[in-house]
Structure 1
Amino acid sequence: MQRILAADIGGTNCRFARFSLESERLTLERVVWIKSAGLLDTDMVLTALSRELETPLDTADAFVLGLAGPVSDGLHGKLTNGSLEVDFSDLKARYGIPRCRVINDFMAEAYGCLTEIGDQARCIVKPELEATPPATASRGVLGAGTGLGTASLVHDGRGGWLPVPAEGGHTTFPFVGDEENDFHKFVCSELGYPYARGDDILTGKGLSLLHRYLTGERLEAREVGEKALSRDTPTLRWYSRLYARACRNWILTTLCRRGLWIAGGIASRNPLSVTSEYFLEEFYSTPHFEALIRSVPVYLIENKNSGLWGAAQAGFELLRREAA
């Protein structure tokens, strides 16, 4: 049996987990959540991980950290919505961890789709047009929380899958019509930006801005979810429509005929935002490639530890490649 330690660090929450790997099967043994605030460097992360999981670091066969931010060379990364910077270049010498890697958090979500978490995701949009995609068809992953993440999975031609990172959340968000463009002007004025990104619109801060624009109420994202995304409200109508547009665009960008998996805390806590009639209406509203959109299933990942499973799967891949 081998041991894999996993971390999934976002702008708000930090999750740690210990997995066992036996006969190519991952088993989650322990998981702990703490707040990301206060974690500033590699040492602080590893000290917290060892303490919270009650596990000596040198007993791990692999450690993978999924980080909500840009990652370079698999060893360095910086949290987009926070101060944390990590450097894994000398973990073996300093902590006795033989195999380690830093990956983008949505690469972790993509890896998670290859585990039981992907299989357990709830199908929220069934294909309207019957079509059997090839077994090698790509898969898309998208989700909003503190940030908006995107990724995809492409077949490697040898029976495996390659997660492909992306920064789709930082592209210009598409607005349609005068009402939406007025909202766009409001967002730009509030944030001091020349244009709004998906990261400004679908995330927690975007949800708060949208609700304030529509109602005048200043609420935190969680409060908006509880008050305005659990029933039919103007906020639900707008947010569902905007989320569906982002999903449709990511399908067209990645050609993920095998399906789109929605991750992230906002949708999992407020499922009506991606299952309402307003979501479906916008999702199918396209004058181009309608057949493609109507043939792609959409899944909602409801397991809040999906990123940890993905990080563990990435650790499994590290061990498997070494053994090959």
Structure 2
Amino acid sequence: MFEFPVLVGDIGGTNARFGLIEAQGAMPRLLSHEATADHPDPSSAIKASLAKGRDVKPPRSAILAIAGRIDGPEVRLTNAHWKIAGQRIAEDFGLSSAVVVNDYVPVAAGAAGIEPHDLTPVGPCPPVPGGARVVLGPGTGFGAAALVPYAAHLAIVSTEAGHTDFGPADAFEEQVWHALERVEDRITVEAVLSGPGLSRLHAAVAHVRTGKPHEKIDPAAVTEAGLTASDPHAAETLDLFGRLLGRVCGDLALTFLATSGVYIGGGIAPRIVKVLQESGFREAFERKAPFAAMMRQIPTSVITVHDPAFQGLAALANEGRKFVYHGQVWRKAE
């Protein structure tokens, strides 16, 4: 499906990482990280990245994972200004083909062969082979996809679960919800379970506890203050974040009957593994009557391997016929 060398890219709302798979079966060689704000378009960032590599052979094809919905020949990033068209990139670099997929498609592909040492369990459940899996992650936004066995293939179902509505489940959460900043007059999963969401959640918790509006602070500062207990509102925010994440993980596990596990990626979860293990994450995950018994058997883990998307992009490039997935595909006419 792909002509080697294959250019791979993991393009988020803040940063884009590019690499090169030089031969069939090889793992990607990282070229560089590029800030999306530093470039007018993806081709500019790719050109800069290729220039930073040593002895780089020109790519012959590309597969790019982007943080956005793949709904046409040109796709705009959800949280950045870039517009991405596979055909334009292919023509800019003389490629024979270019494929653009949602950023959680390769994370799902990587979950098919992920090793136990690349996971940190949250809860005691052993993995159950043969069933569907869900991958998700709070980062700049909130991404999610499912990996579903389908005959001899693995079907990857990308979603926009981060843009579904999200509500409170108890009296305290209801108070927090009243104080939460809305995004386009909505409170969605992503509005709460993301980096910006962590800032919103902290401001709302502080508002509820002090009775006064609270300015938002940087999400990294919330995490740091919460982990060191230097700010009681931040510590409470991280605990609430863990419970809310557990609830959403459980909802998606039920949606896809993900009996083989839920895998949590993104930039936040690996930093707060201890919080997830000690908060009400699993309780919220399992509290899904009348299916609580089934939920107790579903493992939940944090993906701790570096660059899981790159591993998944390698799987898609090297074992393309194994997977079925939706994407923007352009191939040069013969």
Smaller-chain TM-score bracket: 0.7 to 0.9
Map of 1:199 onto structure 2? 190
C-alpha separation between the residues in 2 aligned to 1:76 and 1:103?
Answer: 12
Per-residue CA deviations over 1:60-93 (Å, capped at 9, x if unaligned) read 24311110011135x5321101101111124444
Q: In the TM superposition, what are the counterparts of 1:145-160 in structure 2 within 5 Å?
A: 145-158=139-152, 160=153
Map of 2:241 onto structure 1? 239
**Count of residue pairs brought into register by the alignment:** 311
Give the Å deviation of 1:31: 4.4
Map of 1:67 onto structure 2? 66
| Residue identity opposite 2:151 in structure 1 | G
Contact between 1:76 and 1:102, CA under 8 Å: does it hold in 2? no
Closer, same or farther in 2 for the Cα pair 1:201/1:315, shift >3 Å?
same
C-alpha separation between the residues in 2 aligned to 1:185 and 1:204?
Answer: 20
C-alpha separation between the residues in 1 aligned to 2:124 and 2:114?
Answer: 20
Q: In the TM superposition, what are the counterparts of 1:14-163 in structure 2 within 5 Å?
A: 14-22=16-24, 25-54=25-54, 59-72=58-71, 75-116=73-114, 120-127=118-125, 133=128, 135=130, 137-158=131-152, 160-163=153-156
Map of 2:318 onto structure 1? 316
| Residue identity opposite 2:122 in structure 1 | I
Map of 1:298 onto structure 2? 300
C-alpha separation between the residues in 2 aligned to 1:205 and 1:91?
Answer: 30
| Residue identity opposite 1:305 in structure 2 | D
Give the Å deviation of 1:115: 4.3
Closer, same or farther in 2 for the Cα pair 1:119/1:61, shift >3 Å?
farther
| Residue identity opposite 2:237 in structure 1 | T
In structure 1, stretches of 5+ residues that fail to align are: none
C-alpha separation between the residues in 2 aligned to 1:276 and 1:156?
Answer: 36
Per-residue CA deviations over 1:274-300 (Å, capped at 9, x if unaligned) read 222321222222322112211111121
Give the Å deviation of 1:43: 2.2
Per-residue CA deviations over 1:236-261 (Å, capped at 9, x if unaligned) read 22111111111111101111111111
Q: In the TM superposition, what are the counterparts of 1:160-175 in structure 2 within 5 Å?
A: 160-175=153-168
Contact between 1:115 and 1:310, CA under 8 Å: does it hold in 2? no
C-alpha separation between the residues in 2 aligned to 1:31 and 1:117?
Answer: 25
Give the Å deviation of 1:167: 0.5
Could you tell me the TM-score, scaled by structure 1's length?
Answer: 0.86
Q: CA RMSD in A?
A: 2.7
Give the Å deviation of 1:163: 1.1
Q: Determine helix, strand or coil for the equivalent of 1:26.
A: coil
Give the Å deviation of 1:149: 0.5
In structure 2, stretches of 5+ residues that fail to align are: 207-213, 324-330
Q: Determine helix, strand or coil for the equivalent of 1:271.
A: helix
1:259 to 258, 261, 264: 261
Contact between 2:166 and 2:189, CA under 8 Å: does it hold in 1? yes
Contact between 1:117 and 1:306, CA under 8 Å: does it hold in 2? no
